[in-house]
Chains A and B, each alone.
Chain A
Amino acid sequence: MKSRRLVAAALAAAASLLFTACSSGGDSADGPVTLKFQSLSDQPAAIAATNKIVDDWNKAHPDVKVEVVQAGWDGVYDKLITQFNAGSAPDIIHYEAAGVVPFAKDGYLADLTPYLSEQKKTDIPKGVLDSVTVDNQVIAYPTELQSYVVFANRALLQKAGVTIPAGDTMTWDQLREIAKATTRDGAYGLGWGLSSPTAAMVALAPGFGGKYFDGTGTDAKISVGQGEMALPQLVDAMAHQDNSILPVTLTQSGSKALAPFYAGQTAMTIQGSFQAANIAKDAPAGFDWVVLPPLAGPAGPAQAANPQTLSVNKDSAHVEQAAQFIEFFTNTENLAALNEADALIPATTSAREALTTKLGAQNGWKEILSSGQYLTSAPYLFVDKYAQWKDTVATPAYQKFLAKQIDAAGLSKELTDGWNSINR
């Protein structure tokens, strides 16, 4: 009883302070406008590119000064949710679409539709624009994207007598055949870091016609049919029938799966496209690698996009100026420079083309940038309980399936039942 009284007293004290705090006034809007821009750029070159864009803006707009607040990716969701609830979130917010969509649904983000220029709107591929459109409102500008691509050791492919695919796309069946052909002399055809498989499975499902979710919010319904099961079953067949996937990589992160690729233990590896920069830096001297054309399933080469984005705090006193800054930030020249620095794919067609012109001759860039045109809307972004389903249901279920602890029917059942249980 004594403890209960103490808890009640503590909560009452906290609540009274909370109300006092909530009743305090907002910031003054007098004087030149200053916008706080919380940036998550993490690579030195990307930080420099971001700062240059901001400096250029500040020089051209003395009445609207932008201040960069550098933050890290880890824990940023907790930081933002506290800031939004306390009314002290930055004016301009850098995050990924999967992170900002829930904030938009909760009403924390400004509708940028009125500020999005017609030119920009047509410059952003529809599928990518859809990934930042919530209830018919554009809640963020997409900036950078990544796709899953196949990196290959040219020497091992040639040694196996494989003709390196050179078309606009290559099929998953081609990948499987190449993996089988290059599984020889102690080397495996493919290494794929699938310790956290859900992201790859849902991102690549559109190529097989898979969507996973219909509807949005809490009304979303899961559907695990042929389109959703095709990729896990293909991986299972490659790993356990063809024996063409290095087994240990199935339990490793993507980055860890690069080590056997460098060592010639795997002829190919499926990675996020940004790894091209790391491979160029870390691969042993003389390591001859290529990026194969974008992968296409029966439904085409589509992949679900989860772009990095810039959005505006709805409570900002200067939404219009913040939106103007984002419009400037995402112009062709700036987006091309930023994505080059971050080794990512620009979210606008014009910036992608500019980068292709500049870097297309360099190893991997042409194929990676080309894969950007196939990025499409990701239904899972608009599903409220996706993160919970991913962590508590899907990832363990995929891991069990890849470890042969459950079969395809068991995987489908776990994915479906787990969702229905969470989303009750």
Chain B
Amino acid sequence: MRVLLRPAQYLALAAYILFLGFPLLWLISASVKSSGELNSLTVSLLPQQWHWDNYSDALDRQGLVHSAGNSLVVALVSTALVIVIALPASYVLARLKGKIRAAGVGWILVSQVFPVVLVILPLFLILRTIGLADSLAGLTLVHTTYTLPFALWMLQGYVSAIPVDLEEAGAMDGAGRWTVLRRIVFPLLMPGIVATAMFSFVSSWNEFFFALVLLQSTENYTLPITLNMFIGGEGKVSLGPLAAGAVLAAIPSIVFFTILRRRLTSGLMAGAVKG
């Protein structure tokens, strides 16, 4: 029975991966099908004819690469800002007791209550007043502000999971406050930081509505705005180029995740052992 358990586990895992990956496979398949094949009754994962023109159409007609660059800049900078602000704040939030913590938690919850549509107009006016309405800097600021509460909530959960005993043991051994944070807390928090960074990056990378309203110059458009332009009026959709654009849009996210993936687990036990 035990002999069968391991293959069954692998089988279940493979099925799960296939299930998760199928939409991506379908997207890739759609990106290399001709318009005629996409609009026919014949459904197949593999295209009858490989139609690479969708990629050149996507790249040529909407400035996809330029807007991908904009998205990358906004996502990376807002992710960095979120982590830099959330890291110390989450530690304080997790370790503090009393009214300040309650106020902090209250602020986080309140910030999640307002729908985006409600805040967009005042936000637009504020950014216009400070000269950042139609700029990537303004959008970065908005993405940072919008993602920060949840990132803070996420990270403080990871901090709370680190036993205070470990910090106290470090202090008993003569380590100062900074050393305890750097040598014990930070390594243990690394998976949380990575997870939060991933969340922040994806939130910013995929964000549509703020970018739609705040950006007005074509040269500032981010990727979701550019991809949106493949969907026209009267129900017209350039399905092949849209799929090709979506595949290209997924690449930076995949690269970012691949880079950070190892960090997600490598820090789990680091620093937990004295030495």
Contacts and interface: CB of A to CB of B under 8 A. Distances in A.
A40 interface: yes
A149 to B, nearest CB: 13
B210 to A, nearest CB: 11
A418 B179 CA distance: 68
Nearest to B61: A44
Nearest to B217: A69
A17 B39 contact: no
A258 B239 CA distance: 14
Interface in B97-114: 102-103, 106-107, 109-110, 113
B102 A2 contact: yes
A262 B41 contact: yes
A18 B122 contact: yes
A308 B233 contact: yes
Interface string A39-54: 0101110010000000
Contacts of A283: 36
A146 B235 CA distance: 12
A82 B40 contact: no
Interface stretch (B2-10, B69-77, B126-134): B126-134
B275 interface: no
A282 B39 contact: yes
Contacts of B120: 78, 82
Contact of B41 (A44, A74, A265): A265
A2 B105 CA distance: 11
A82 B121 contact: yes
B250 interface: no
Contacts of A69: 216-218
B102 to A, nearest CB: 7
Given A69-B217, A260-B41, A283-B36, A17 B122 contact: yes
A28 interface: no
Contact of B233 (A73, A85, A259, A260): A73
A272 interface: yes
Contact of B124 (A42, A86, A254, A308): A86
Interface in A51-80: 68-75, 78-79
Binding site secondary structure of chain B: helix
B248 to A, nearest CB: 18
B40 A40 contact: no
Nearest to A265: B41
A21 interface: yes
A263 B39 CA distance: 10
A3 interface: yes
Contacts of A274: 234, 236
Contact of B126 (A6, A21, A259, A284): A21
Interface string A1-35: 01100110010001001101110100000000000
Contacts of A83: 213, 216
Given A75-B228, A282-B39, A253 B129 contact: no
Interface residues of A, number: 53
Contact of A262 (B39, B110, B208, B235): B39
B232 interface: yes
Contacts of A265: 41
Nearest to A23: B129
Contacts of A218: none
Nearest to B212: A75
Give the contact-size bracket for chain B.
35 or more
A82 B124 contact: yes
Nearest to B116: A78
A281 interface: yes
B18 interface: no
B35 interface: yes
Contact of A3 (B109, B125, B233, B236): B109
A88 interface: yes
B36 A281 contact: yes
Contacts of B121: 82, 85-86
A24 B234 CA distance: 39
Nearest to B230: A42
A83 B57 CA distance: 31
Contacts of B234: 146, 272, 274
A13 B120 CA distance: 15
A83 B120 CA distance: 10
B129 A75 contact: no
Nearest to B63: A70
A273 to B, nearest CB: 9
B126 A3 contact: no
A146 B236 CA distance: 12
- Name the residue among B38, B103, B235 with the largest chain A CB count within 10 angstroms: B235
A255 interface: yes
Interface string B220-252: 000001001111111111100000000000000
B209 interface: yes
Contact of B110 (A6, A71, A88, A260): A6
B39 A278 contact: yes
Nearest to A78: B213
Contacts of B212: 75, 78-79
Interface of B: 35-36, 38-41, 57, 61, 102-103, 106-107, 109-110, 113, 117, 119-122, 124-126, 128-129, 133, 208-209, 212-213, 216-218, 225, 228-238
Given A86-B124, A96-B233, 11 more contacts: A40-B233, A72-B225, A73-B233, A78-B117, A78-B120, A78-B213, A85-B121, A88-B133, A90-B216, A272-B234, A283-B36
10 contacts: A6-B107, A10-B110, A17-B122, A72-B229, A78-B120, A82-B124, A86-B124, A88-B128, A253-B235, A262-B36
The list of the 8 closest CB pairs from A to B, nearest first, reads A42-B232, A21-B125, A72-B229, A72-B228, A21-B129, A282-B36, A263-B41, A73-B233
